Amino acid sequence: MKADEQNNTHGQSEDGPMVLSHDAVKGYRPIFYICITIGIFYLAFVFWRTW
């Protein structure tokens, strides 16, 4: 390799990109949707009171 060429692999192997995965956490999705819904209702209440 010449001195003016750059190595753009950044430590990755030639097999392809590394995939990061994890196991699903039981009960996370319903709690997430409940919290988002509460937040939307709270914002709607605040906007309604300041109108």
Measured in degrees and rounded to the nearest 5, phi and psi for residue 33 equal -65, -35
Tokens of 9: 């692999």
With tokens 């430590």, the residue in question is 11
User: Model-level pTM?
Assistant: 0.56
Q: Three-state SS string across 18-33, please?
A: CCCCCCCCCCHHHHHH
- The Cα 38–Cα 46 span in angstroms is 12
Quick: pLDDT tens for 2-51: 554 555 555 555 678 888 898 989 999 999 999 999 999 999 999 999 98
Sign of the dihedral through C-alpha 35, 39, 45, 48: negative
Domain edges within the chain: 26-51
